[in-house]
Structure 1
C-alpha cells in the first residue's frame, strides 16, 4: 500500500443496482429534468430505443457509490472529496429495469498531490458497457 494514500494501482471495487421506473421519476423530480426521453413512453416508441431510457447521469451516480465503497474497503482514514470526472461518455442507454454494475479501478496514485485517478466502468446485466469515466479523488490531511 502507498505511504499516505490507502490505494495501489489496480485496487478495485464494484457496486450493482437495478434501475426502477420510480427512481427515474424521483431523479426527474430532484433535477427538474423531465425530458420526454425519460418520461414519455408513447413518444419513445417512435424512436430507435422504442422505450424510455434513464438519465445518463444516474449510471454515473452508481459509479460514485463504488468510489465510496472502495474507500470503506480500504479503511481509508483520510477525508476525501470527488475532484471531478474526465472522459465521461454515455455509451449505451440504460433502460428501466436494467441492473447496472459499476466497476471502480484505481489507475493512478499521486502521493504528492494526494489524489487518485480511477476508471469507472458501468455495465448492464448483459455485460455491455453503458458508461465510462475517469474519476479523481482528492484527499486532505486530517
Structure 2
C-alpha cells in the first residue's frame, strides 16, 4: 500500500463561489426507453405518445431522474483525471426541484457554483465535502432542474 499523505488535495483547491459549466447532451428517444426499462418507470408521461399529445405538455417528457442522472454523467465527463481520482463519494442531494419539462430532443448542460466547503475529520476517507448549486439548463437557457449536490473529496 502506498502512502497517500503526500498527494495533493483537490479539496484544498476549491473555493466558495467557484463556477463551472459542462458541455451539452441531447436527451434521445433511446435514453427515455432505456431509462424506463432500467427504472421500471413506464408512466404514460414518458411512454404514451398518443395520450401525451392531448396533455398540457403536448408530447412525451423525459423522466426527471433521467435528466438528473444524465447531468451527473456530464459533471463526471467535465472533470480532469486528477479531479475524478479525488472523488470519494457522491454525498447527497438537497432541494431537488423539477422546474420545466425536458422533451426528447432537448439538449441539457449543467451550471455549477460552489456554495460551501467543509473539512472532515481524520477518521473520514476524504478531506472534506463540497456543496454545489447545480442548475440543469436546456438549449433555451431555461433551468429545468435545480438542486444542491454534495461530494466527498480527497
| Shared fold (TM-score, shorter chain, > 0.5) | yes
Instruction: Tell me what 1:125 maps to.
Output: 139
- Does 2:138 correspond to 1:139? no
Verify the 8 A CA contact 2:46 2:63 in the aligned structure 1: yes
- Cα displacement (A) at 1:36: 0.4
- Does 2:50 correspond to 1:36? no
Instruction: Tell me what 2:99 maps to.
Output: 91
Unmatched runs of 5 consecutive residues or more in structure 2: 1-7, 122-127
- Does 2:34 correspond to 1:26? yes
Instruction: Tell me what 2:125 maps to.
Output: none
Verify the 8 A CA contact 2:21 2:109 in the aligned structure 1: no
Verify the 8 A CA contact 1:4 1:111 in the aligned structure 2: no
Q: TM-score, normalised by structure 1?
A: 0.86
- Cα displacement (A) at 1:15: 3.2
- Does 2:118 correspond to 1:104? no
Deviations along 1:42-74, one digit per CA (max 9) or x if unpaired, are 11012100100000012212331244245427x
The number of residue pairs the alignment matches comes to: 138
Verify the 8 A CA contact 1:62 1:102 in the aligned structure 2: no
Unmatched runs of 5 consecutive residues or more in structure 1: none
Q: TM-score, normalised by structure 2?
A: 0.80
Larger radius of gyration: 2
Structural RMSD (CA): 2.1
Instruction: Tell me what 1:7 maps to.
Output: 14
Instruction: Tell me what 1:17 maps to.
Output: 25
